[in-house]
Chain A
Amino acid sequence: MYKYRAEITKGEEIRYISHLDYAGVMERAIRRAKLPAAYSEGFNPHIKMAFASALSLGVISDAEYMDFELTKSLCQPEVFEKLSRALPEGVKLLRLKPVREPKPCKGKKHKALMAEVEEAEYELLLPMTEGAAWDSAVAAVKAYNEAKEAFVHRVTPKTDKLIETKQYMLQPVKLSMAGALLKLHMDIAITQTGSVKPGEVLELLAGEYGLPGDTGRVLIRRTAMKGQGRPLIDLV
């Protein structure tokens, strides 16, 4: 089997599709591209593919990563060209590299993509509450950055728990203005035991620290996903 790693985007056009649907989009694109895909065994064979980290519905991304396997070793330009042409609006193939497996004498195979992710960076844009002062936004972010602990309540149909967010913040949250919008930058750790979503941190900033922003209208973009401080595509 010949494995490739793709750096792809999730654009505005498909902002509102789930991670599972996104995976389906990519699987169909690989088939349309007529690449000799490797399939899983079993009664319901799927293309052997893996993603780095699920992206929430409503979040776009400049840096998604997908590993997939082919049964033939094709040269990079051919795979790049064929896959690019088969992609729908909303997905762009930025970079593609064959995954070089370590020599058999060194033992182990290349680490799984999911296990390589250590951090993700996000940019959040949201309108400032009307009449609010810039200073209060600065103060809110500062207070959050200086807090030792900050808990967010995560409620899903399956879970209901308190999550301490600061442990995942690799850098202080940065605040700036982009036109009339507030712009936040977050660098969040993704660990084997968990992580926090940028939307959850925002909820905390607005709810508990008084960030004067209209969180209902936030647009979130993942700008990078890294392992060992480098983009995941550079780890192969």
Chain B
Amino acid sequence: MEVSRLPVSASTRGKLISAGYTSFSSLSNFSPSELAIAVKIPEKEADEILKLATHDGKSDNTKGTQAVVSGGQTAWDMLKEDEGLRCITTSCAALDKILGGGINCKEVTEIGGVPGIGKTQLGIQLAINVQIPHEHGGLAAKAIYIDTEGSFMVERVLQIAAACLSEYYELPRRGSNANQPNRQPQDLLENIYYFRVCSYTEQIAAINYLGKFIKEHKEVKIVIVDSITFHFRQDFENMALRTRLLSELALKLMKVANEFKLAVVLLNQVTTKYSEGSVHLTLALGDSWSHASTNRIILHWNANERYAYIDKSPTLQSSSAPYAVTGKGIRDSVSDHKRAKLM
């Protein structure tokens, strides 16, 4: 029945079907007021239904030109478009290398790891690095940080911002004019939009609101959610509802990433999984959530060093790279020899 695929409420749909209107052609000859009387629904709803039905009828009649479906792009056009997109560096050369340059725009990247491995640090580093100006290969854009755990420490962000500024001011800039005023770390903080959510409904609301917010603030090029798991892990009675809400969340984030061509970074926690007698760590939120991201990076310890491992990616090979969390933020890890001496 064609009417069953209209995005209307169940009761309206039931009324339409019991009145005998099951296809779009049967709705075509009616005006909103006639339909409202025949089906006993408010006129505004009848108007909406007719708009949806006739829009579908119109698109049925258009002749396909180059693309068979409207809104589709050929692979060639997409390739050319993607060549112009830049990556967001993580400030760690080894990590950037395995990521193919950094965190890609238009993709949802999930980063998970045990507590204390540096997820929030990486999130903060990315929020600062997205603001690197064009001359140094950055995007000169703003960031949105959705904090669910309360681990966003402003003093630490200031510290990382100061380190980032000092590094980039040391490099000689091509074509720079000496009269440019020095940027303060506080200026970098101004470009991070911070949302604090305290329950899963607030989290869903914040993500629903993202589309509207980004339309008004087009300079945003990264959305970081730290962490996406927190409110969904404790005390969720209905697992089926949780799966539905999470899949819907995932689709919305994918849509935002695609529509506004920005990067979405989701930080996740780990849980233990018991399979075939052995116990190992996997990312939280279950098997169905593992399909919610385009890329997945797992952070883990390996003999006193922090490693990042690419678990899932459509373009990148599975590989791992070491990194370190320093006073300045995320940086390359120094060799073992040196680390042993410092310890």
Whether A and B are associated in the same complex: the answer reads no
Enumerate chain A interface residues (CB-CB to B < 8 A): none
